[in-house]
Amino acid sequence: MMQKTLPVYYSVSESISGRTVTDGGFQNEEKAEKIASFNGIDIYRIAAGKFKTSSINFFFNDNLQRDSVTLNALVPAVLRRGSGQFKSFRDIALRLEELYGASFDCGVAKKGECHIIQFYMEFISDKFTLEDTSLFENAFNLLFEIVNDPLLENGSFREDYLAQEKDNLKKLIEGRMNDKMQYGVERCFEEMCKDEPYGIYEFGYVSDLPNITSNELYAHYKRMTEDYPLQVYLAGDMDSGKVDMVMKKLSAMKRSRTKNLDCCNVEKSPETVKNITEKMNITQGKLTLGFRTNTAPGSMDYYALIVFNGILGGGIHSKLFQNVREKASLAYYAYSRLDRFKGLMVISSGVDMKNKEKAQAIMLEQLEEIKKGNISDYEYESTMKTIETGIKSLMDSQMQIVDYYLSQAVSRTSDSFASMSDKIKKVTKQDVVNVSSRIQLDTVYFLTKDSNQGGINENR
Instruction: Assess whether pLDDT exceeds 60 at residue 9.
Output: no
Cα separation of 61 and 121, whole Å?
Answer: 18
Give the pLDDT band (50/70/90) at residue 102. Answer: very high
Share of the chain above pLDDT 90, in %: 82
pLDDT at 22 over 70: no
- Element housing 116 (H / E): strand 114-124
User: How confident is the model over 213-246, as pLDDT tens digits?
Assistant: 999 999 999 999 999 999 999 999 888 889 999 9
Average pLDDT of the residues of the chain: 90
Mean pLDDT of 416-434: 96
Q: Are strands 455-459 and 440-449 parallel, antiparallel or unpaired?
A: unpaired
pLDDT at residue 17 above 60? no
| Digit-coded pLDDT (tens) for 159-170 | 999 999 999 999
Of the listed ranges 21-25, 310-314, 368-372, 407-411, the one predicted with least confidence: 21-25
For residues 146-151, average pLDDT: 96
Angle between helices 135-148 and 240-251 (to 10 degrees): 20
pLDDT tens for each residue of 261-309: 998 889 899 999 999 999 998 989 999 999 999 999 989 999 999 999 9
Rounded-to-integer distance, Cα 314 and Cα 385, Å = 11
Cα gap 190→199, rounded to integer Å: 4
Q: Give the three-state DSSP class for 10.
A: coil
E runs forming strands in 136-265? 230-235
CB-neighbour burial class of residue 299 (10 A; exposed 0-12, middle 13-18, buried 19+): middle
Cα gap 358→314, rounded to integer Å: 21
**Per-residue model confidence as pLDDT tens digits over 187-222:** 999 999 999 999 999 999 999 999 999 999 999 999
For 75-95, the pLDDT digits (tens) are 999 999 999 999 999 999 999
In the chain, what is the straight-line distance between the N-terminal and C-terminal CA atoms, in Å?
A: 36
Average pLDDT on 251-267 reads: 90
CB–CB of 296/340 below 8 Å?
no
The arithmetic mean of pLDDT across residues 320-346, rounded, is 95
Instruction: State CA 315 to chain mean position distance.
Output: 21
Domains (range + CATH), the chain: 32-251 (3.30.830.10), 274-459 (3.30.830.10)
Confidence (pLDDT) at 211: 96
Quote the crossing angle between the two packed helices 377-394 and 417-425, to the nearest 10°.
180
Which residue would you say has higher pLDDT here, 360 or 128? Answer: 360
Q: What is the mean pLDDT of residues 391-411?
A: 94
User: Tell me, what DSSP letter sits at residue 261?
Assistant: P
pLDDT(451) > 90: no
What whole-number distance in Å separates Cα of residue 56 and Cα of residue 230? 13
The single-letter code of the amino acid at 22 is T
Question: Residue 456 pLDDT > 70, yes or no?
Answer: no
Residue 458 has pLDDT above 60, yes or no: no
Top-confidence residue, 25 or 422:
422
**Out of 35-44, 121-130, 370-379, least confident range:** 121-130
* Alpha-carbon gap, residue 288 to 291, rounded angstroms: 10
Three-class secondary structure assignment of 381-438:
HHHHHHHHHHHHHHCCCHHHHHHHHHHHHHHCCCCCHHHHHHHHHCCCHHHHHHHHCC
pLDDT of residue 418: 94
Q: Over the stretch 113-131, which tens digit does the pLDDT of each residue have? A: 999 999 999 999 988 887 6
User: Using 50, 70 and 90 to split pLDDT, how confident is the model at 10?
Assistant: very low
Q: Mean pLDDT lowest for which of 109-113, 241-245, 381-385?
A: 241-245
User: Quick one: pLDDT band at residue 328, thresholds 50, 70, 90?
Assistant: very high
Q: Which one-letter DSSP state was computed for residue 156?
A: B
Sign of CA dihedral 62, 68, 72, 75: negative
Burial of 28 (0-12, 13-18, 19+ CB in 10 A): exposed
Does the pLDDT value for residue 24 go beyond 90?
A: no
b/e per residue, 75-101, with b = 16+ CB within 10 A?
Answer: bbbbbbbbbeebeeeeebeebbeebbe
pLDDT, residue 455, reads 47
Calculate the alpha carbon distances from 432 to 268, 270, 313, 315, 455 in Å: 20, 22, 14, 17, 39
Helix (H, G, I), strand (E, B) or coil at 372: coil
Strand order through the sheet with 53-63: 32-38, 41-46, 230-235, 53-63, 114-124, 103-111
Residue 258 reports pLDDT greater than 60: yes
